[in-house]
Amino acid sequence: MSGGCRYMPNPPEPYLIEKTKRESRRVTLNVGGERHEVMWKTLDRIPHSRLGQLRQSNTHEALLELCDDYSLLDQEFYFDRHPLSFSSILNFYRTGKLHLVKEVCVLAFSEDLEYWGIDSVFLENCCQHKFNQRQEQVFDEMRKEGEALNQLEEEDFGEGAMAKLQKFGWDIMEKPTSSFPARIVASISIFFIVLSTVSLTLNTMPSMQMYECVNETDTECGADLAAHPPGHREALDDHLQQIDNIYLAKIEEVCIAWFTLEYLLRLLFSPSKRKFLQGALNFIDLLAIMPYYLSYFLIESKKKIGEEDEYKTFRKVVQVFRLMRVLRVFKLGRHSRGLQSLGYTITNSYKELGLLVMFLAMGVLIFSSLEFFAEKEDNPAFESIPQTFWWAVITMTTVGYGDISPTTAIGQVIGSLCAICGVLVIALPIPIIGNNFAEFYKNQVQRELVLKRREEVERAKRESSIVQLGHATLDVMEGLVDPAGKFYHKKLNSSVKHVFTY
C-alpha cells in the first residue's frame, strides 16, 4: 500500500486525511486480503463501531488504532483478520440485519463481533437462540476440558527418581489405556473379577458343596460321611456342617490375593493417599476384599474358643459377610465407562428417583385402599390394606406375578386403572435419568479425548515435530529475533525461511 502507511517515515497530516475522505464517497475495506467496497455513509449508520469510528478519525495514530494499515491514495484500509465472518458484519451495516455465519466457530464469531464493536444482541431472532445455545455448549465443553486438565494437574508426584517410578506405577495401575503394561494389568484384573464371580456362584450349587463333621473327633460321623455320597446326606444333617468347596476356595484365595495386591499397589503409588481412600471406586475395592478377611479371622477365632452352639450361630452371621463378596462385581466399574456412567446417573438423579418413589408410593396407597374395599368380602387374599400393597406394587410396575389378583368386576376395573397409571408414573422421570446417563457418558469420552490430546501435544513438543490435534496439523514454529528487531519464523526441518518485518 502507498500514500499513507504504517511504515512511512513521515505520516500524513490530519488535514490531508480529512480532505481525502471528503473527496471520496467510497472506501475499500481489505479484511485478510479480501476487498470490500462500501459507501462511507453506510459506515456512518453505526457510528460507535470500529468502522464507524474509522470515518471520524482524521489522524495517523487514530487510524492505526482502528486498522492495521491503510492507503490514502487508494482509500483502502487493511484489517489483519479472517474474512469469513466479515460479509455478515458488513451486511449488517447495509441492511440492519445481523445473521450468524454457519461455517464460523461461535466463539470466533463472537470475537469478531467484539472486534468490530457490534453487540450480539443485534442478531436476528432466527439466529439469536442458535447463537446462545451453541455458545453455551462450547463454554460447557471448555469447562469440562478444563476440569479434566485440572484433575490431571492435581496428580503431583514431586521430583526425583522415586517420583518418576511412582508416576509410572500409578499410570499402570490406574490408567488402563496409557501403555501396554497397563492394558495387561487391566486385563488380568478383569479376569480375576470374572473368575471370582463365577467361583462364588458355583459354590452355591448342591453338587459343588462339601461337608465336614461338626465334631472333628467324631469317628462315627467321619465313617458315615465317607459312606454317603454328596446329595444323600440328609440323615447326617445334625452331625454335618456345610463348608466351601476346597477347590473353589483355593481359587477364591488366589483372587483375593490379587485384589489385595492390586489395592495395596494402587494405594502405594497414589499421589494423594487421602483422596485415594475417599474415592468411591477405591472404597468398592476395599469392600470386595474385606469380607473375606473378616469371615476368615472371625471363624478361626471361634474355632479356637469352642462352644459349638454359639459357633453354629456365629457361622450364620459370617454368611452375611460372605454375601458381600458379590460386591466385587462392581470392580468392573473401574474398567467400564458404561458402569461408571450408570453409577453417576444414580448418584445425580436422586431428585428424579425420589419423585418416582413418591409417585409410586402415592399410587400404591390409593389403589391398595380401593382394591381392598372392593375385594375384602369376596376375595380372602385381600385381608388388609398393607397386604394389598404387594399387589399394587407388582401391578403398577407391570410385573404381574399373578399370585394375588382381583375377582370382582369393580376390582378388575381398579386393577386396570392401577396398571395404566403405573406405566404413566414410571415413564415420567425415565427420560431425565436417561439424559443424565448419556450426558455423563459423553463427558467421559470427551475427558479421555482431552487427556489423549494433551499427551500428543506434550510428546510433540518434546520431539519438536508436528502436532496433530484431531484432523488439524500444526507446524511447530520457532521464533527468532535479530538485533535489528526483525522477527523471523523458521519452519523446523525445512530449508525455507519465512521472514516478516514488524
Nearest alpha carbon to residue 383 among 267, 238, 353, 391? 391
| pLDDT tens-digit map of 283-307 | 878 877 887 887 777 766 655 555 5
The fold of 14-141 is: Potassium Channel Kv1.1; Chain A (3.30.710)
Q: Count other C-beta atoms under 10 Å from residue 135's C-beta.
A: 15
For 276, list phi and psi in degrees, rounded to 5. Answer: -65, -45
CB proximity list for 420: less than 8 A, separation 6 or greater: none
**Element holding 76 (H helix, E strand):** strand 76-79
Query: What's the average model confidence in pLDDT over 7-13?
Result: 69
pLDDT at residue 488 above 80? no
Confidence (pTM) = 0.53
Q: Which CATH class is domain 168-209+244-334?
A: mainly alpha
Note the pLDDT of residue 473: 38
Q: How far apart are CA 497 and CA 190, in angstroms?
A: 54
- The gap between the terminal CA atoms of the chain, to the nearest Å, is 15
Q: How far apart are CA 354 and CA 106, in angstroms?
A: 38
**Element holding 168 (H helix, E strand):** helix 161-174
Q: Count other C-beta atoms under 10 Å from residue 288's C-beta.
A: 24
pLDDT at residue 234 above 70? no
For residue 490, list its beta bridge partners: 478, 497
pLDDT at residue 267 above 80? yes
CB proximity list for 339: less than 8 A, separation 6 or greater: 330, 332, 333
Q: Count other C-beta atoms under 10 Å from residue 150's C-beta.
A: 9
Higher pLDDT, 45 or 493: 45
Mapping DSSP to helix (H, G, I), strand (E, B) and coil, where does residue 443 land?
Answer: helix
CB proximity list for 34: less than 8 A, separation 6 or greater: 83, 86
Instruction: With both helix axes pointing from N to C terminus, report the angle between 280-305 and 246-269 in degrees, rounded to the nearest 10.
Output: 130
Mean pLDDT across the chain: 77
Give residue limits of the domains in the chain.
14-141, 168-209+244-334, 350-428, 464-500
Query: What's the average model confidence in pLDDT over 446-471?
Result: 65
**Is there a contact between 241 and 211 (Cβ–Cβ < 8 Å)?**
yes
Residue 49 CB-density burial (10 A; 0-12 exposed, 13-18 middle, 19+ buried)? buried
| pLDDT tens-digit map of 390-446 | 999 999 988 888 888 898 999 999 999 999 999 988 888 888 888 888 877 777 777
Residue range 350-428, CATH number: 1.10.287.70
| pLDDT tens-digit map of 179-222 | 888 889 888 988 988 898 888 888 878 777 776 655 555 454 55
